[in-house]
Amino acid sequence: MAYKNDELYVEDASLVALAREHHTPLFVYSKSAMLSSLSAYQRGFAGRNALICYAMKANSSLGVLQVFAEAGCGFDIVSGGELTRVLKAGADPQKVIFSGVGKTRAEMRQALDAGIACFNVESIPELDVLNEVALSAGKVAPISLRVNPNVDPKTHPYISTGLKGNKFGIAHEEALATYRHAASLKGLRVVGIDCHIGSQITTITPYLDAMDRVLDLVANVEAAGIPIHHIDFGGGLGINYNGDTPPEADVLWAQLLTKIDARGFGSKQLMIEPGRSLVGNAGVCVTEVLYTKQGSDKSFCIVDAAMNDLPRPAMYQAYHGIVPCKLPAKPDGIRLARVPIYDVVGPVCESGDWLGKDRELDVVSGDLLAVLSTGAYCMAMASNYNSRGRAAEVLVDGDTATLIRSRETIEDQMKMEKLL
Ligand code: LLP
């Protein structure tokens, strides 16, 4: 993404031109940015028996999934809906793994019928139900146990998942007994181990700590006569939202691989489930300034995107950069000497509906802004709150821009409803 002649471009497509054609709010994704993020993981795993499973919860639009399916990725899914989507996008079911604490019997059956690679199981009751479902379908379910390593990832509490108090995974101390139980069930085949400690992690230490604990377990489980074929390290790295400095994926992997090799597990299949880092910085949301308004304490820049399109600021007080799609050249070529400071807010009737606080912006009604790093956990978490239709999405590949999702109309929204 760069300014050319004072206009912001995603690859070779002008955001101003895309907004003119498809209107706003509009998500725009760069295919080359996605593939370049993926290549950092591929480099990290070069020469290894490894599978990168895109955690499609980050962005499950079909066009995005297709990019990763064509690049040979596997997928981490968390629902039957995600399975249907990813198969439609061309994924190989044998590269699909199924995470999540609350899989239903119907979802288990759907995934067994599709022939997925592995169920990441999170509790003993889930193991027992999966065993029953598999036996009644005449199949054997490949499973891995998601162990909770009790490591603090030092991220937002809502997206920490590997601590004792979280609902996820099987406690480290109970893992060995649970593996023994799993191995005794005829409808299951133990294939792996997995963990996930949280999201938007920007330092290497929590991964190394979690890895130590997981590798200890691999050794114990194998000593109990249960072979572990793959080790899955859960989600990927955090990204740069506001000066964050996560390591490159290949740098992280070099350190993890040193540990894995030292413990003699280097020939096992290695997996990772990155979501945010593959798509987050590859997307922007283009929004139009509707009004500027001086409050008594603050000034507001009211835009046509809102918390229903971009829920992360409201949910996690998350920061997203906000920049103009066209740099504001004044007629005499001089920009404002003192740029006003605005809270950028949407039209939804909640005070929590803000996209950015205290931002310097030289804007007037009708200007276009780009909300940055919105490729992950934005469209996928969008809602129809205030009966707002969900935004359109465009995927750019060089100078080709494809509309991968049309703007949702009010008729689309009401299609499933009926009057009394
Ligand atoms: N695997 C599992 C089991 C997960 O729960 C997650 C994310 C991932 C992989 C992908 O993690 P990533 O590579 O994206 O960090 N909505 C929140 C993020 C929630 C993440 C939930 N789990 C946000 O917008 O920050």
Q: What is the pLDDT of residues 81-108, one digit of tens each?
A: 999 999 999 999 999 999 999 999 999 9
Q: 146 CB under 6 A from ligand 1?
A: no
- The response to whether residue 218 sits with its C-beta less than 6 Å from ligand 1 reads no
Q: Of 394, 390, 393, whose CA–CA distance to 410 is shortest?
A: 390
CB 256 within 8 A of CB 37: no
Residue 145 host element (H or E): strand 141-148
Q: Are strands 341-345 and 230-235 parallel, antiparallel or unpaired?
A: unpaired
DSSP character at residue 138: T
- Topology of domain 100-272, per CATH? TIM Barrel (3.20.20)
Q: Which residues contact 355 (CB under 8 A, 6 or more apart)?
A: 287, 303, 305, 306, 307, 310, 313, 320, 322, 344, 345, 346, 371
Show which residues are catalytic: 349
Residue 149: the pLDDT is 83
Q: Would you say the CB of residue 172 lies under 6 angstroms from ligand 1?
A: no
Give pLDDT, residue 2: 95
Confidence of residue 187 (pLDDT cuts 50, 70, 90): very high
Out of 37, 54, 56, 57, mutate this one to test ligand 1's pocket (max ligand atoms within 8 Å of CB): namely 57
> What does R_g of the chain's alpha carbons equal in angstroms?
23
> Would you list the domain boundaries of the chain?
2-28+280-414, 100-272
Degrees (nearest 5) of the Cα angle 392, 279, 395?
Answer: 40
pLDDT at 169: 85
pLDDT digits (tens, 9 = 90+) for 369-384: 999 999 999 999 999 9
For residue 329, is pLDDT > 80?
no
Output phi, psi for 361, to 5 deg.
Answer: -145, 130
Region label for 183, one of left (φ > 0), alpha (ψ between -120 and 50) or beta (otherwise): alpha
C-alpha to C-alpha distance for 253 and 154, rounded to whole angstroms? 19
Closest CA to 15 of 280, 326, 290, 310: 326
pLDDT value at residue 168? 77
* 377 Cβ inside 6 Å of ligand 1: yes
Q: Which residues contact 8 (CB under 8 A, 6 or more apart)?
A: 1, 2, 14, 15, 16, 323, 324, 325, 326, 370
Ligand 1 centroid to Cα of residue 143, in Å, is 21
* 274 alpha carbon – ligand 1 mean position (Å): 8
pLDDT, one tens digit per residue, over 289-320 is 999 999 889 999 999 999 999 999 999 999 99
**What pLDDT was estimated at residue 337?**
63
CATH architecture of 2-28+280-414: Beta Barrel (2.40)
Distance 235 CA to ligand 1 centre (A): 6
Amino acid at 416: M
The alpha carbon of 42 and the centre of ligand 1 are apart by a number of angstroms equal to 20
Q: What would the DSSP string read from start to end of 270-297?
A: EEEE--HHHHGGGEEEEEEEEEEEE-SS
What pLDDT, on a 0 to 100 scale, did the predictor assign at position 150? 78
pLDDT tens digits for range 61-84: 999 999 999 999 999 999 999 999
What is the position in ligand 1's atom list of the atom closest to the CA of 58? 14
Ligand 1 atom with least separation from CA of 120:
3
Tell me, using a 6 A CB cutoff, whether residue 37 lines ligand 1: no
Question: Could you report the per-residue pLDDT of 214-272, keeping only the tens digit for each?
Answer: 999 999 999 999 999 999 999 999 999 999 999 999 999 999 999 999 999 999 999 99
